[in-house]
Structure 1
C-alpha cells in the first residue's frame, strides 16, 4: 500500500541519500564531502522552514520523494498572496517508476500548497519528465531566465 507523508528531522539522512542518488542519476559527479554538506543543509533547512519534503512509502519502504523550497515574493496579479513553492528532487526509485508514485507525490504537494495559500508551484525538469508535469498541470514558462554564479 502506498503512503505519502511529510518528512521530519529524523528523515534527514534518508533525504540526503535520496538527493545524492537523484543527482548521480542526472549525471552529476558529487565531490567527496558533498553528502555531509548536504545533510547539514537539510537539517538546518527543515528546522527553519526553508525545506519541506514528502516521502512516498510502499509497503513501509521509501520509494520516492519530493522536496519543496517555499519562497516569498512581492505580490502581483500572479502572486496575490506573495508565496511560491519551488519543487526539487521529484524522485522515484527505478524499481517503482511508472506506478503512479510521482503523481501521488505531486498531488500531496498540490493539496498542501492549496491549504497553505501558495500562489504558484514551479520546477525545472529534464526533457524525459516534461510530460509527467504537463499531465499534472504545469506549463512551460517562456519568460524565465537564470544566470549561474558558480
Structure 2
C-alpha cells in the first residue's frame, strides 16, 4: 500500500471517490455535482485548506481521508479560531475491516496537530461512527443545523 497526498492532478479521482462515498451512505440525487466537486477540490487543494490523502494498491485508490481547515472567530478556548473538519474518509468495500479507516484518520489528526489545530469535528456516517468513537471522538450537543429553503 502506498499513501500519498492528493494534488490537483487527482481531482477527477477525488470526484469519483466522493460520489461513491455518498452512494454508500445512501445519499443520492438526480442532479450531478461533478462541477461543484471539481471547483471545491481545486480551490481547497490550491489554497492548502484541504489536505487529502490517498491510499493506493497497484495504482488503484482503496482508501481516502481529508481534513478541511476553516477560520472561525477566535475564542478563549481556541485563540487561533481555526478548526479542522474531518471528511472524505472512505474505504472501498473490499478493504473494509482491515484498519484502513483508522490509519487514514490518523493522517488527518496528525496534520491538525502539526498545524497547531486542536478543535476537530466531523459528520459521522453509520459506517464510520464506531471507528470515530473508538478513536476518541465524542458526540456533543454543540451544533444545531438549519436547512434553509431554496
- Tell me if TM exceeds 0.5: yes
TM-fit CA distance, 1:22:
0.6
Residues 3-42 of structure 1: pairs in structure 2 closer than 5 A: 3-42=2-41
Q: Unpaired runs of 5+ in structure 2?
A: none
TM-fit CA distance, 1:88:
1.5
Q: Is the contact between residue 66 and residue 108 of structure 2 (CA under 8 Å) also seen in structure 1?
A: no
Calculate the TM-score normalised by the size of structure 1: 0.88
1:102 aligned onto 2:101: yes
Aligned residues: 149
| Cα distance in structure 2, aligned partners of 1:72 and 1:37 | 21
Residues 88-127 of structure 1: pairs in structure 2 closer than 5 A: 88-127=87-126
1:58 aligned onto 2:92: no
Compute the RMSD of aligned alpha carbons: 1.7
Q: Is the contact between residue 21 and residue 88 of structure 2 (CA under 8 Å) also seen in structure 1?
A: yes
Calculate the TM-score normalised by the size of structure 2: 0.88
Q: Secondary structure at the match of 1:138?
A: coil
1:149 counterpart residue number: 148
| Cα distance in structure 1, aligned partners of 2:36 and 2:82 | 28
1:74 counterpart residue number: 73
Q: Is the contact between residue 65 and residue 91 of structure 1 (CA under 8 Å) also seen in structure 2?
A: yes
TM-fit CA distance, 1:64:
1.1
| Cα distance in structure 2, aligned partners of 1:23 and 1:127 | 12
